[in-house]
Amino acid sequence: MADVLNCKHCGGTIQVTGYCANCGLKSEYVNKALNSSKYYYNIGLDKARVRDMSGAKEALKTALKYDKMNIDARNLLGLVYYETGEVVMALSHWVVSVNHFSGRNVAKRYIKDVRSNPHKLEATNNVARKYNQALAYARQGSKDLAFIQLRKVLSDNNKFVNGYLLLALLFIDEERFDKARKALKRVIKIDRTNPLAVRYLSEMGHTDEEIMRFRDFPEESYDADLLFVDEERKAYSGTGNVDFDGEPIPVGRYKDINFYKYSLAYIIAGLILGIAVTWFLIVPHRDKTADDESRNLKIAFSQEIADKNVKMASLENEIESLNTELDDANKQVTNLNKKIKAYETSAAQILSDEDRVRMQSGIKKYEDMSYDEAISDFDKVLEHNPDSDIALYYKGMSYIKKSDTINAKQAFNKLVSKCPDSLYYTIAASYADADVVDAADANTQNDNRTGNDGTVPEGNQTGNDGTIPEGNQTGNDGTVPEGNQTGNDGTVPEDN
Q: Name 78's Cβ contacts closer than 8 Å, sequence gap at least 6.
A: 89, 90, 91, 92, 93, 94, 97, 107, 110
Q: What is the CA radius of gyration of the chain?
A: 75
Q: Name 338's Cβ contacts closer than 8 Å, sequence gap at least 6.
A: 447, 451, 455, 456, 457
- Give yes or no for residue 357 binding other proteins (CB under 8 A): no
- Give yes or no for residue 162 binding other proteins (CB under 8 A): yes
Which of the residues 53 through 82 are near other proteins (CB under 8 A)? 64-69
Shortest CB 158 distance to other proteins, Å: 15
Helices 71-83, 87-100: axis angle to 10 degrees equals 170
**Residue among 95, 148, 226, 342 that touches other proteins (CB under 8 A):** 95
- Give yes or no for residue 203 binding other proteins (CB under 8 A): yes
Piece in contact with other proteins (CB under 8 A), picked from 38-46, 167-175, 241-249, 478-486: 167-175
- Give yes or no for residue 147 binding other proteins (CB under 8 A): no
Name the residue type at position 7.
Answer: C
For 220, phi then psi, to 5°, come to -60, -50
By beta-carbon proximity to other proteins, the closer residue of 25 and 408 is: 25
- Give yes or no for residue 24 binding other proteins (CB under 8 A): yes
Shortest CB 69 distance to other proteins, Å: 8
- Give yes or no for residue 198 binding other proteins (CB under 8 A): no
Closest to 373 (Cα-Cα) out of 381, 365, 382: 365
- Give yes or no for residue 38 binding other proteins (CB under 8 A): no
d(CA 322, CA 464): 35
* Nearest-5° Cα angle at 197, 191 to 203: 160
Helix H or strand E segment including 38: helix 27-49
By beta-carbon proximity to other proteins, the closer residue of 129 and 298 is: 129
- Give yes or no for residue 102 binding other proteins (CB under 8 A): no
With b for 16 or more beta-carbon neighbours within 10 A and e for fewer, the 14-49 pattern comes to: beeeebbeeeebebeebeebbeebbebbebbbebbe
Three-state DSSP class for 303? helix
Q: Are 402 and 371 in contact (CB under 8 A)?
A: yes
Which residues are bridge partners to 6 per DSSP? 13
**Residue among 71, 172, 183, 468 that touches other proteins (CB under 8 A):** 172
- Give yes or no for residue 386 binding other proteins (CB under 8 A): no
- Give yes or no for residue 30 binding other proteins (CB under 8 A): yes
By beta-carbon proximity to other proteins, the closer residue of 118 and 483 is: 118
- Give yes or no for residue 383 binding other proteins (CB under 8 A): no
* Interface mask toward other proteins for 173-192; x: CB under 8 A: x-------------------
**Residue among 43, 79, 165, 415 that touches other proteins (CB under 8 A):** 165
Residues near other proteins, by CB under 8 A: 9, 23-25, 29-30, 33, 37, 64-69, 86, 88-89, 91-93, 95-96, 99, 121, 124-125, 128-129, 131-132, 135, 138-139, 162, 165-166, 169-170, 172-173, 196, 200, 203
